[in-house]
Structure 1
Amino acid sequence: MARRPQQRFSEDDYESLEGRASKTEQKKAVQRMAALGEQLANLSKKQIQQLPVEERLIDALLDVQLITSHEARRRQFQRIGKLLRNEDETVILSYLTPQQGLKKTAQLQRWVDRIIAQGDPVINEFAKMYNATERHTLRQHLLRVHRDMSQQADEEQIAASKLKLFNYVQQVALISDNT
């Protein structure tokens, strides 16, 4: 298979990012959130009750622990995924990262730094390592970071873009580790 030449991003590429996510991306985001919900459901009752999230989400997480039917659990996790969309990803991931440990978090940060610096080759390497990776979504996050850096946005905006990229990488790692 021929390799694609290394390309530079044009201004049109950056502007096309501003649109809404495609239906496929939205569905995959819901699937990722449902998988995160499964991770949250594995926490103890005490840990779930201490989560700084909406009461409905806490109730849904506690309810899923009582459900034994496979189909009912699947539907409940879909519901949890929808409820998770209203929550702050960073807060939720902060409760799941102790399961990963500091070493794993540092490793993921190095992945993010390499992805930002080297682009597609590292994205492909990361996707081989973590099977839940959506290359397109990862490229979109990378494109946003590069856009902010090229437009010389303020440090806060660049940091926010990098945090979104890191959150996505962290979600993928959590989901991949348990599939």
Structure 2
Amino acid sequence: MARRTQRFTEDDFESLEGRASKTEQKKAVHRMAALGERLAELSPKQIKNLPVEERLIEALEDVRSITSGEARRRQFLRIGKLLRNEDESVILSYLTPKQGLKKTAQLHRWVDRMIAQGDPAIKEFMKMFNAAEHHPIRQHILRVQRDIKQNLGEEAVAKSKLNMFNYIQQVALISDNT
């Protein structure tokens, strides 16, 4: 078989930079399914008041009537897929009162610490929160550092930090549940 003569350029890799791998996409669906389980624990009145699509509300209400373990698992995967279309910040704002302000402040400190210290802080965070994964955290840190390095402005850096905080918050909610 002949070797490929084409050399890849930096532009080829930059076009792939923001894309998640198939494995990361699957893990994100499972993470969202776990968030769906947390949402399903809310009262029916709270579920009705969620500012999300009607299909998601119906799916959360349907979970209550499902008794089969496998059927519940599939339903939560469906909920996870529906959650991808929603704003993470809004969903997390409904679940964070369960965490408390102290926990939220602690997670903000973790984000700042991981950005400043890198791998040692990531490893320590992963020991405390069993649902955490090294690669996504590292990717978020690299995005924040890239935005700072390229002087994209406070708004872009704040958005990158918010995305990282949302991931960290999801991990903390899921870890508390397991």
Deviation for aligned residue 1:154: 1.4
Deviation for aligned residue 1:22: 0.5
Deviation for aligned residue 1:90: 0.4
Deviation for aligned residue 1:34: 0.2
In the other structure, the counterpart of 1:57 is 56
In the other structure, the counterpart of 2:126 is 127
Deviation for aligned residue 1:17: 6.2
Q: Could you say if the C-alpha distance between residues 124 and 17 of structure 1 is closer, same or farther in structure 2, counting changes exceeding 3 Å?
A: farther
TM-score by length of 2: 0.91
Structure 1 residues 84-112: Cα deviation after superposition (integer angstroms, max 9, x where no partner): 00000000000000000001001101101
Q: Which amino acid aligns with 1:86?
A: N
Deviation for aligned residue 1:65: 1.0
Deviation for aligned residue 1:64: 0.2
TM-score by length of 1: 0.91
SS at match of 2:173: helix
In the other structure, the counterpart of 2:83 is 84
User: Given that residues 17 and 140 in structure 1 are in contact (C-alpha distance below 8 angstroms), is that contact kept between their aligned partners in structure 2?
Assistant: no
Provide the alpha-carbon RMSD of the alignment. 1.5
Deviation for aligned residue 1:18: 2.3
Structure 1 residues 12-57: Cα deviation after superposition (integer angstroms, max 9, x where no partner): 9x94762421001000000000000000000000000000000000
d(CA) in 2 for partners of 1:17, 1:101: 37
Structure 1 residues 127-164: Cα deviation after superposition (integer angstroms, max 9, x where no partner): 01000001000000000000000001111111000000
d(CA) in 1 for partners of 2:171, 2:16: 21
Q: Which amino acid aligns with 1:164?
A: N
Structure number with the bigger relative contact order (C-alpha 8 A, sep ≥ 6) is 1
Structure 2 unpaired stretches of 5+: 1-9
Return the index of the structure with the highest Cα Rg: 2
Q: Which amino acid aligns with 1:67?
A: I
Aligned positions of 1:143-154 closer than 5 A: 143-154=142-153
User: Given that residues 133 and 172 in structure 1 are in contact (C-alpha distance below 8 angstroms), is that contact kept between their aligned partners in structure 2?
Assistant: yes
In the other structure, the counterpart of 1:25 is 24
Structure 1 unpaired stretches of 5+: 1-10
In the other structure, the counterpart of 2:47 is 48
Q: What is the percentage of aligned positions where both structures have the same residue? A: 77
**Runs of 4 or more consecutive aligned structure 1 residues displaced over 4 Å after TM superposition:** none
